[in-house]
């Protein structure tokens, strides 16, 4: 049968060449083009990143599309790079890279799905910078770029939240080995063996030397003793061994602290029972940030160093200790949320000090970048754990009074976008 078809085709084609029927020739050409288009179109549907199912059990084929369609953050006119941090959250039905059932690195307090959060709309938004597109992180390309390299995220529990997100996104390629943790699991390291890539989280909430007197629930027995002129050796002693790092601080400066300089008491913040001069948070934070940046510039480090801006919280009708909640189900509109006074102070210091130090960093050949996740995070009051930092908080009583977490982020969630931004800043300049 197959030979007969081939014979008939050859006979027809000889007749076609013999009689040179122009109209038939044109028709056949159109038919072949249409057939090719149909094949390509069907193939494109097979590669579509949008799934019909609620969550993907296997996301390999979905993510591989992004390695082929990546675009740098160039404006449509191709003239200048856009501001990655100025944009809007737009709806996007693309499924997340991972879920609570596919990633083992999500800690309980950020595991909103497992803990019973009933809504899922917070998962289906994408950050869209104005004037360009932000592709999703390509984990294969990221790991290939990071072959034989080391990363560390240095800071407080938001850095721990962030490293979980990055681990979940990269583990769709390869499960990392957990090679180190300290007694309290605050300092940890993982290695992706096929790439010899290490990823660490280092606990340093002030980035400066501090004695902290808190129990596991954050209840303090005394004020923190913070040395404004001494950087924390937990990260500085590892600094030269790291190729890339993300440093951050801020939130812990609101806690009651006694400030030291040259091992002498300089003042304090929120220490009403002590006869010590009250010093503004702005002063203390600026002192520490300047020391951090001075250390970085003098080091002439040859990797890439990101300073991540402090992130906002979204407690409404109180704070975490006074009944504050975060029950919103949609991103906020621009202008709907303003930074609280303390968050604004921290942000002003960060931006001012970074702007001052940037020329000197460039002069010394230090690649220092600002990961300014503050504006896009401010618009996401819908994506915190809220009461679902606890497992099934309303299982026994639907009206139970539960402490809300309106500071950290559900996983998966908008914190995954921070990794998209990192990837773009690495490959897009």
Peptide bond into 416 cis (omega under 30): no
Question: H or E stretch including 165?
Answer: helix 157-170
For 57-79, give the DSSP string.
Answer: S--HHHHHHHHHH---SB-TTSS
**Per-residue b or e along 164-199, where b marks 16 or more CB atoms closer than 10 Å to that residue's CB:** bbbbbbbbbbeebeeeeeeeeebbbbbbbeebebbb
Q: Which of helix, strand or coil describes residue 33?
A: helix
**What strands lie across the sheet with 257-261, from one edge to the other?**
208-211, 224-231, 257-261, 264-269
Q: Which segments of 6-149 are extended strands (E)?
A: 87-91, 125-129
Which of 157, 165, 200, 249 does the annotation list as catalytic? 157
Active site residue 19: no
| Angle subtended at Cα 301 by Cα 164 and Cα 72, rounded to the nearest 5 degrees | 60
Question: CA–CA separation, 267 vs 181, rounded Å?
Answer: 35
Phi, psi of 125 (to 5 degrees): -135, 145
Question: CA–CA separation, 404 vs 387, rounded Å?
Answer: 4
Active site residue 408: yes
Active site residue 405: yes
Nearest-10 crossing angle of helices 157-170, 415-427? 70
Which of 269, 301, 384, 408 does the annotation list as catalytic? 408
Which of 372, 405, 416, 420 does the annotation list as catalytic? 405
Sign of CA dihedral 223, 227, 228, 233: negative
Collect all residues with Cβ–Cβ distance below 8 Å to 335 and sequence separation of at least 6.
none
Question: CA–CA separation, 60 vs 97, rounded Å?
Answer: 9
Active-site amino acid positions: 157, 405, 408
């Amino acid at each position: 049968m197959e030979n007969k078809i081939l014979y008939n085709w050859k006979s027809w084609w000889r007749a076609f060449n013999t009689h040179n029927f122009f109209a038939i020739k044109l028709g056949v050409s159109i038919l072949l083009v249409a057939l090719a288009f149909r094949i390509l179109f069907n193939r494109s549907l097979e590669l579509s990143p949008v799934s019909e199912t609620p969550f993907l059990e296997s996301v390999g084929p979905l993510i591989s599309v992004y390695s082929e369609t990546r675009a740098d953050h160039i404006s449509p006119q191709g003239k200048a790079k856009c501001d990655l941090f100025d944009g809007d959250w737009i709806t996007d039905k693309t499924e997340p890279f991972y879920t609570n059932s596919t990633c083992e690195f999500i800690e309980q307090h950020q595991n909103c799905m497992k803990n019973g959060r009933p809504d899922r709309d917070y998962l289906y938004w994408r950050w869209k910078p104005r004037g360009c597109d932000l592709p999703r992180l390509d984990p294969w390309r990221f790991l290939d770029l990071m072959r034989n390299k080391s990363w560390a995220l240095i800071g407080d529990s938001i850095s721990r939240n962030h490293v979980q997100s990055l681990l979940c996104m990269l583990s769709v390629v390869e499960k990392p080995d957990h090679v180190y943790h300290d007694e309290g699991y605050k300092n940890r390291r993982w290695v992706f063996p096929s790439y010899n890539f290490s990823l660490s989280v280092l606990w340093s909430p002030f980035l400066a030397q501090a004695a902290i007197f808190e129990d596991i629930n954050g209840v303090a027995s005394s004020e923190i003793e913070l040395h404004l002129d001494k950087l924390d050796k937990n990260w500085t002693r590892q600094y030269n061994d790291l190729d890339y790092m993300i440093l951050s601080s801020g939130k812990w400066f609101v806690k009651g602290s006694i400030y030291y300089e040259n091992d002498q008491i300089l003042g304090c913040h929120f220490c009403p029972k002590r006869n010590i001069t009250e010093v503004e948070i702005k002063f203390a934070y600026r002192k520490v940030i300047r020391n951090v940046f001075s250390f970085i510039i003098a080091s002439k480090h040859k990797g890439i160093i990101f300073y991540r801006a402090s992130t906002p919280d979204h407690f409404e009708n109180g704070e975490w200790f006074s009944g504050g909640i975060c029950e919103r189900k949609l991103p906020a509109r621009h202008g709907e949320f303003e930074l609280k006074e303390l968050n604004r102070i921290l942000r002003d210091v960060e931006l001012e000090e970074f702007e001052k130090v940037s020329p000197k960093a460039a002069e010394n050949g230090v690649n220092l970048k600002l990961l300014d996740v503050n504006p896009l995070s401010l618009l996401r009051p819908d994506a915190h754990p809220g009461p679902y930092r606890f497992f099934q908080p309303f299982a026994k009583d639907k009206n139970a009074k539960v402490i809300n977490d309106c500071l950290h982020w559900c996983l998966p969630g908008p914190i995954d976008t921070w990794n998209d931004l990192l990837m773009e800043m690495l490959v897009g300049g």
